[in-house]
Each structure stands twice: as C-alpha cells, then as structure tokens.
Amino acid sequence: MPVRFAMLTPPALTPRLRRGATILVAAAGLLTVLAVFQFMSNPYTPAGYVGYITRGALVGKAKYVGLQTGPTSTGLGWLLRVTNVSITPYTYGEEFLGQNSVLSQDNLNVGFRIHIVWRVRPDRVQAFVERYSTLGQGENPEQIVRVAYQNYLQEPLRTAARNAVQQLKGMDIKDKISDIGRSIQEQLAALVKDTPFDIISVVVGNIQYPPEVADAVAKKLAATQNLERTDTEIKIAQKEAEKRVAEARGIAEAMTIINQQLTPSYLQYEAIKAQLAMANSQNHTIIYVPVGAMGVPLVGDIMGSTAATPPAVSPIPATTPKTGQ
C-alpha cells in the first residue's frame, strides 16, 4: 500500500505578528545604521595646524590618507582619524646659569640664556608624525611639538651654544651676542636641512659674569665716568677763563681807543655844547666862571697843567638875572 505525504502550509500570520515582525526589522535596520555611524567621523583641523589623516580598519592596521591644512575638515568618512600638528612658530628657551655656565676662552665662567624660534614645515608634516613624533592620535598637539623639540633639537642647540661661547674671551661675549646667535642658527640649519624642522632665529642674551668680575667692571665704568666728567669740567673752566680774558682785552682796547680820541680840544667842544644846552633851558640858573681862553672853562687835570695854557683872564663877578621891579 503506497504511502502518501501531505503538504503542510504555514498558518496565516495574524495582524499582531505582522506588526511585531515589522518592528523587529526596523529595529535591526536602525541598529545597523547606528553601528555604521559609530564608525563614521568628520575630523576637523583648526587654523594654524596641518592634520595628518588616517583611516582605521575593523581588522588590520590603519593607513595614511593625506594631509589637510586648517581650518577645514575631511567630511564624513569611514574610520577617519586626524593628528593635528601646529605649524605656527614656537619659542623655547635654554639657560646656561650656575653650574651650567660655560667656560670662555680665557677661563671665565659666563652665564647666559638662549632663545630659539622654530616651526614644523607644513609640507613635511607626514615625515614629522611618522619619524619624529613619539605620541599617538588624540594627544595634545602642543605636547607633540614639545616632545619632538626635546628629542631632536634641544641637545644640538645646547651643544652649538656652548661651542660658540667657548671660542670667545669672556669680556668679548657681551659685544658679540648677535654674531653668536647667527653662528648657532647656521649650525642648526645645516643639521636640520633635510628634516621637518624650520629654524627661524636664535637669540642670545642675559649675559651674566661672576660677581667679582661684575663689581670690577662696574667700578671701572664709574671711574671712567668720573674722569670724563672731570675732563668736561676742566674744558668748561678753560672756556670761561678764555671768555674773561677776551672781555678784559676788549675793555683794555676800548679804553685805549677812548684815551686816544678824547683830546682837550674835543672835551672843550663838548663843554661848549653842554653850556649852550643849559643856556636855552628855562629851569636853570647859570653862573659862568670863565677861567680859560675866550671865557671857556679849562678842561684838564685840576692838580696839574691843562692841555693848553691860555693867557690869564681876570674872572668876572658872578651876576644873577633880575626877577623884576
């Protein structure tokens, strides 16, 4: 007797089961979208920075994508990450004071401070991150640059500074700080020629000598200033003396000229003019005492002889004008 198989058909889904299936499908889709967006990102690079962009992988290693110069972002992408590197200038200082002071050519301990201004070359950020940076993604950009400076620039800078100072005499250093800075900059520029580091300038300053040397220099400077002040005072006194001599010479020459010009005849002429002026005045009473020639008063030394001895004339009694009847 043959065996017969009957086909079983699934029962029709009830409306309630259909709604549940729809919700499950929607939830699964939403979770899928959320999972995708969880691995999507839009890395941002601010102004003054260059971003080193990589794309990660769920399995395997991340790969370099490219560079972006801020301010900008990559746009939404799969597993994108960025390491931002500042390309603005940085200034770091190094001290050579106390036990770190440098011995000059003439065995004088000299303290000083040096400042370097540098930056990362924008077109070499990839090499900077891959070869000179020891920090990973998400680290502070300022710390990335500082670590690179400490690892690759700090010691060469200090060595170049010591070598430049040791070649000079102690008291010459303060007068050649610009030359020292240029020498150090040239040495560092040659050292980092093929690296991402760009040396902008090197400045040397704050020169400090031992206290006894500084005191001796201060005393010498004070003595020099006193000597210059004394020389100035001497020159002023000499000029004043020359002025007094010139004034005395002028007075003497003037007196000589006056004595030569004031002859007895000239003095008598002036006396006659004075008498005429007084005679024409209404406010004077004039008494004439003619004692010289032609009734003119004599002009000369009272105790000695006159310039000319005129014939004697008897004096005329003095008269007073009548005032009325």
204 shares a domain with 215: no
Contacts for 55 with CB less than 8 Å, ≥ 6 apart: 62, 63, 65, 77, 78, 79, 80, 81
pLDDT recorded at residue 215 = 62
158 shares a domain with 116: yes
184 shares a domain with 120: yes
pLDDT bracket for residue 265 (50, 70, 90): confident
130 shares a domain with 223: no
Q: Does the pLDDT at position 46 exceed 50? A: yes
d(CA 306, CA 161): 97
Whether 318 is in a domain gets the answer: no
205 shares a domain with 157: yes
To the question of pTM greater than 0.75 for the whole model, the response is no
Question: What is the number of structural domains in the chain?
Answer: 4
34 shares a domain with 121: no
The neighbouring-strand residues paired with 63 are 55
Whether 9 is in a domain gets the answer: no
169 shares a domain with 112: yes
- Enclosing domain of residue 66: 26-86
101 shares a domain with 197: yes
101 shares a domain with 192: yes
Contact (CB, 8 A) for 166 and 184: no
d(CA 229, CA 275): 61
pLDDT recorded at residue 37 = 61
Q: Does the pLDDT at position 271 exceed 80? A: no
**Which CATH number fits the domain that encloses residue 100?**
3.30.479.30
Q: Does the pLDDT at position 11 exceed 90? A: no
Whether 34 is in a domain gets the answer: yes
148 shares a domain with 163: yes
d(CA 199, CA 185): 7
Helix residue ranges, H only, the chain: 15-38, 125-127, 141-152, 154-166, 170-173, 177-191, 211-261, 264-279
d(CA 81, CA 144): 16
Question: What number is the average pLDDT over the span 115-137?
Answer: 86
100 shares a domain with 199: yes
Whether 60 is in a domain gets the answer: yes
The 10s digit of each residue's pLDDT in 185-226 is 999 999 999 999 999 999 998 888 887 765 655 666 666 777
| Number of residues written out for the chain | 325
The 10s digit of each residue's pLDDT in 277-286 is 777 777 766 6
pLDDT recorded at residue 88 = 93
